[in-house]
Structure 1
Amino acid sequence: MRRCDGEASGGGSLARLSVAPKAKDDGRIVATLDKYVRRVGATPPGTCPVVVQQALLQAAAAQTCGKCVPCRDGLPRLAALVGRVADCEADAGTLAEVRALAEMVRGTSDCAIGYEAANALLEGLDDFADEFARHVGARSCAAGVGQTVPCETLCPAHVDVPGYIALVAAGDYAGAVNLVRKDNPFPTACAFVCEHPCEARCRRTLIDAPVNIRGIKRFAVDQVPADQVAPPPHSVDTARNIAVVGGGPSGLTCAYFLALMGHRVTVFEARSQLGGMLRYGIPAYRLPRERLDEDLRGILSAGSITALCDTPVGAREMAEIAENYYAVYVAVGAQAGKTLALPNADAAGVMSAVKLLGAIGDGDYPDFTGKRVAVVGGGNVAMDCARTAVRAGAEEVSVVYRRRKEDMTALPAEVESAVAEGVELVVLQAPVGIEVDGKGRCAALVTQPQMIGAVRGGRPAPVTADKPQERIAADIVLIAVGQGVETEPFEEFGMATVRGCFDADEGLAAAGYGNVFVGGDCQTGPATVIRAIAAGKVAARNIDAYLGCSHKLACGVSAPPAPPNDRTPKGRVELVERPARERKRDFKDVECGMSREEAEQECGRCLRCDVFGCGATEEGREQYA
């Protein structure tokens, strides 16, 4: 609103308010800012951190109102000084001046425009101290002048994303599957459950939105199942026996690549079936078992792989394996469910999420008909448990989380799907106890209300609110607060651990052993499927080198030539789910794949960054092992 003066009917003046019209440029400025946000989001991996700091300072300087001198004059000066560092034209005195000026701006600016910009710079000086020192001392930038393909670089397994998208566009679905398997032998599993970090910096974001990479992969494996695509021919038999302990994604990835190299691999799996957490941690409605088996059959057909299920490995067995095999890869995952130190946590009706999902992996589905279920946690596993409880007939399902909804580590799409299926989110409630009935069975989850507090570790931490405890009626309480590694048998064998995980160097060689390697969740802690796959790939390459070999693997497929890319803005094709009222009644696949028309359009959105705009290496692509 704005004030305007007018004549009153009685002849006097009257101050009135009127609705101020929207400034003509406001809409265009907002549109420009949207483009700016997209551009920031598409910042290529490997961008020089000094240049990023300079850009942030320039953006902050453009926001200043000009009222206070530290912000008005200090930010442009800081941007200029950091620019000299970025251009490798500064000395140690320049860095000292930058720090001193930033501290002054942070301490004397009137508002957050100034002091937050200066604070970000001071944090950058500490976080990227080596890079700032290199620019000043060696007068060079470690980031170099070229850029790698964002999607391939951010994929932990470094899959040739533009290549297989181009093959799908050309209708060569078998070729696309084989090109994925060059780096990742689980094309189907990742088409269903990968968290797709490859999309985070997709350059298509500069135009509209990231390419739906996972959806395109799903379309490819829907057209040609993975077990119908023959793996590349394996190398000549080396007569070297390799043991893999653990038949999950990391162990089987290692086995696959070692078999292609000509080695003889034996996989020791404690459970009755292969798959690890893909089978025993992810419900069938997200990853249908028959689709997982397609990947497993493809892996086992790669060469000399013998899988021994129902074969747990203890300290004695591990000692025998290490002695009788040329090399051992330990990839036992993180399959021990963590619990909470709550009163009555051992009551009937209280169980870990890992136990529930593990039983389902063997076909033992629970019956929660008429039960009230409370799930404690805020990650993907908690959402899996909640949605499983709905399908098991539960009358009410609640997810209890001590932080806010926006702080949940679960994928937003998983949270939205759970809510659509009738799951209630109970946030800012910290469990403090289990209430039991006269028979010792779970009757309710007792919680203490929380309020959001100061930021710690990148997100606001909850603190106890001055409110009375609350009671959430529950016949079943599922604890989904994380997973641990069962290290005891291997520690007895002599393997070292650090904070509950196995100790290994960057090449995944276990500390203190020459022929033992370790990777995946048991070495990093619970992570994602694609990270476990990447570890298996690295382990296979390093085991091959340890044996004195240097096998080069090829898939016999390459990306077709790139046509001129289509830069016309188009909407991103999203994978939709079956209606909630239908899907929540069964464990069938909830997600609908793309149609041929949708896949062709989505493939056409790929800008082929391996050919256009990334010139650091061969076809803009790092030559990953």
Structure 2
Amino acid sequence: MATSQDDMKLTFRKFEDGEHTWSSMHDKIFVADESHKCPVYVHRTPPCQGSCPSGEDIRGWLQIVRGIEKPPQDVSWQEYAFRRSTDANPFPAMMGRVCPAPCEDGCNRNEVEDFVGINAVEQFIGDSAYEGGFKFESPALQTDKKVAIIGGGPAGMSAAYHLRRRGIGSCIFDDHDKLGGMMEYGIPGYRIPRTHLTHEINRIVEMGDIEVRTNTRVGKDVTVEELEKEFDAILWAIGCKTGRGLPVEGWEGTPNCVSGVAFLEAYNKGDLQVTADKVVCVGGGDTSIDVVSVARRLGKISNINEKDRPEEVVHGYTAHDAALTAAREGAEVTLTALFPKEEMTATEHEVRDALHEGVTILNEVMPVALVKDDSGRATALRMAKCEIKDGRPTPVEGTEFDIEADLIVSAIGQGGDLIGLEDFDNGRGLMDSDQFYQIPNRPGHFVAGDIIRPHLLTTAIGQASIAAESIEHYLKNESQVKRPKVDKHHFNLLSKLNEAHLSPIEFHANEGDLRGTSSAKYAVHNYEDRASSEIIPHDKLFLGHFGYEPRLKRKEHGPGAEEVLGHFEERYDCYTDEEAKAEADRCMSCGMCFECDNCVIYCPQDAVYRVKKDEATTGRYVATDYDRCIGCHICSDVCPTGYIDMAMGE
């Protein structure tokens, strides 16, 4: 479970109990007229980005929001942050709301008091882009070849976006009447406002040369062979929209036993307006939390007509009339999970919200049987306490109990819907992929997203960006040696210098003394970029620099148990400009200078100096006069971000 450190006091100490002796300074400090090791400015990847499955340059757009990295002339900082954010992920408004934020778990600020509210700032970036009407650029097409993308969910839309940025057109096929996949049909609107989702989808399509064919199922309406004739490559991004049933006898064919995926799709289509008196959902992940939260909002209707029972709607036999909602009453909703509350895979705050909304959660239990009436309907779900033995849940004998139920929902996992595409089934209801996201033994066929292995939305988005790069190589008949990396959207000093009109001058080998570069204008001296290979840990930082600053949390409007019925308003308010800047300012800028001046202030030799303002930019705020430097390492010790290594000379 994702965790936060609410109400923590600052506990960082430079030295731990028992540390009372200094290590030898012989290797670090020498006499004043010698310099063995001098500072080098080393750029590394922060753990937030290293934890992000779509590889966003999180530190980069936080630096922009807080005002450290300045935008180019005539570009607002809001738009500049949007450009940096969407270099990797085209859905900032969506990810800022629903991503479980592994970046926040990895944040080094957790070692001080609490993580930076990365999700909240990302929502701000996405909502600012929505309000500002920011558009994506539409580069010229680089080829007349075209790619078929099967599935218009997060993976498919991300692939279309990244291909288009590479100058490659595509055609998206989807078997629904709207694009969005699980974002549209799997996540409730009070978590993802449909106005913002539609806007972020349309912004991709509006790049041009992205054709859309909805209500078209490949394998039924269009054959694979037809696609292979029409298109030069095919990307399968069909997701996993088939829910797994409970492993209990009689599940299949019991009318009031449904999957969580089907339940949520019926709700998101607007067909499901009310649910049952007693709803039991088996799960523990985010999908199960959505199911029980929706059930509490929909409520029940006493003496409901048989044709209006929720399972009839979920199975697609009928749809509810909106007039039914006038007679809603509160439903009794229970969620069961195999693991203790702190080990549930659902995001912590989603579990907290479900409890606040009146959901009963039973932990460390498992289903063992259905209890049915004479008509074949389930009337209860028999549970037992469970233990995990050899990695498998095992019921504890003699602990069985029944939970009465009118509707039982299974949210224990998902699989692919490969009807008509059986040749692609790897035997587990999924598709196989090699390291380049190509389907083995199927030239021209690529795959991304949940159909490989169900995971996070941001994982699907990151996989699609890698697949887009592989497709480009394939269309150019180029061989690939190394797998493309998702974690590649790093700050680039040369690009920044070019943007600031500070590019190094042209190098001429026949001019001048070439033995050094510290004063030369054709080279960027004493700088090293290790971002592609190193993630900077917290023990490389000077954490003592940072004071206690509690996280600025987004304002929430989560309803309590008494208000939840019919409550479909969005939970979170967006930050204001000032709030976004204040929270971004908590970022410790791990692995990159944030212009604190510590190295300049504490250098005893005045060797470290600020670069002239007309020559400075992000990553080039300070430099070292090596004629003055004595290798004392103080600048490195007091650098909060771990940007300075005592490496020159080795």
Contact (CA 8 Å) 1:347, 1:440: kept in 2 or not? yes
Contact (CA 8 Å) 1:267, 1:306: kept in 2 or not? yes
The whole-number CA distance in structure 1 between the counterparts of 2:91 and 2:552 is 23
| 1:254 has 2:183 as partner | no
Greater mean alpha carbon deviation, residues 213-222 or residues 437-446: 437-446
Shift of 1:503: 1.3
1:526-565 maps to which residues of 2 (within 5 A)? 526-548=454-476
The whole-number CA distance in structure 2 between the counterparts of 1:500 and 1:580 is 38
Unaligned runs of 5+ in 1: 1-29, 40-57, 64-144
| 1:183 has 2:88 as partner | yes
Q: Which residue of 1 aligns with 2:520?
A: none
Shift of 1:543: 0.7
Q: Is the partner of 2:403 in helix, strand or coil?
A: strand
Q: Which residue of 1 aligns with 2:284?
A: 378
Greater mean alpha carbon deviation, residues 270-279 or residues 202-211: 202-211
Q: Is the partner of 1:253 in helix, strand or coil?
A: helix
Shift of 1:205: 2.6
The whole-number CA distance in structure 2 between the counterparts of 1:574 and 1:229 is 26
| 1:419 has 2:419 as partner | no
The whole-number CA distance in structure 2 between the counterparts of 1:555 and 1:527 is 27
One-letter amino acid of the counterpart of residue 595, structure 1 = T
Shift of 1:618: 8.3
Distance 1:160 1:553, change over 3 A: closer
Map Cα deviations across residues 144-175 of structure 1 (whole Å, 9 max, x no partner): x9842222222122111122122223462122
Q: Is the partner of 1:508 in helix, strand or coil?
A: coil
Q: Which residue of 1 aligns with 2:507?
A: none
Q: Is the partner of 1:297 in helix, strand or coil?
A: helix
Q: Which residue of 2 aligns with 1:430?
A: 366
Contact (CA 8 Å) 1:240, 1:326: kept in 2 or not? yes
1:454-465 maps to which residues of 2 (within 5 A)? 456-457=390-391, 462-465=393-396
The whole-number CA distance in structure 2 between the counterparts of 1:255 and 1:453 is 42
Map Cα deviations across residues 369-393 of structure 1 (whole Å, 9 max, x no partner): 6x11111111111111000000111
Shift of 1:584: 5.0
Q: Is the partner of 2:223 in helix, strand or coil?
A: helix
* Correspondent of 2:402 among 457, 461, 471: 471
* Correspondent of 2:582 among 562, 580, 601: 601
Q: Is the partner of 1:522 in helix, strand or coil?
A: coil
The whole-number CA distance in structure 1 between the counterparts of 2:273 and 2:382 is 24
| 1:504 has 2:433 as partner | yes
| 1:156 has 2:53 as partner | yes
Distance 1:296 1:227, change over 3 A: farther
Aligned length: 475
1:184-199 maps to which residues of 2 (within 5 A)? 184-199=89-104
Contact (CA 8 Å) 1:399, 1:424: kept in 2 or not? yes
Q: Which residue of 1 aligns with 2:143?
A: 238
Distance 1:377 1:554, change over 3 A: closer
Contact (CA 8 Å) 2:149, 2:236: kept in 1 or not? yes
Moved over 6 A (4+): 552-561, 617-621
Contact (CA 8 Å) 2:161, 2:204: kept in 1 or not? yes
Greater mean alpha carbon deviation, residues 264-273 or residues 552-561: 552-561
Map Cα deviations across residues 435-471 of structure 1 (whole Å, 9 max, x no partner): 2334333321122x224355x45xxx64322325211
* Correspondent of 2:239 among 323, 327, 333: 333
1:247-326 maps to which residues of 2 (within 5 A)? 247-314=152-219, 317-326=223-232
The whole-number CA distance in structure 1 between the counterparts of 2:447 and 2:547 is 47
Distance 1:155 1:434, change over 3 A: same
Q: Which has the higher contact order (CA 8 A, sep 6+)?
A: 2
Work out the percentage of aligned pairs sharing the same amino acid.
29
Distance 1:280 1:526, change over 3 A: same
Map Cα deviations across residues 409-448 of structure 1 (whole Å, 9 max, x no partner): 111111111000000012232212222334333321122x
Distance 1:224 1:549, change over 3 A: farther
| 1:391 has 2:297 as partner | yes
Q: Is the partner of 2:62 in helix, strand or coil?
A: helix
One-letter amino acid of the counterpart of residue 362, structure 2 = V
* Correspondent of 1:200 among 87, 100, 105: 105
Distance 1:204 1:372, change over 3 A: same
One-letter amino acid of the counterpart of residue 313, structure 1 = V
* Correspondent of 2:267 among 345, 354, 360: 360
Q: Which residue of 2 aligns with 1:349?
A: 256
Q: Which residue of 1 aligns with 2:28?
A: none
One-letter amino acid of the counterpart of residue 220, structure 1 = I
The whole-number CA distance in structure 1 between the counterparts of 2:116 and 2:446 is 36
Distance 1:187 1:438, change over 3 A: same
One-letter amino acid of the counterpart of residue 258, structure 2 = M
Distance 1:500 1:35, change over 3 A: farther
RMSD value, Cα: 3.5
Distance 1:613 1:604, change over 3 A: closer
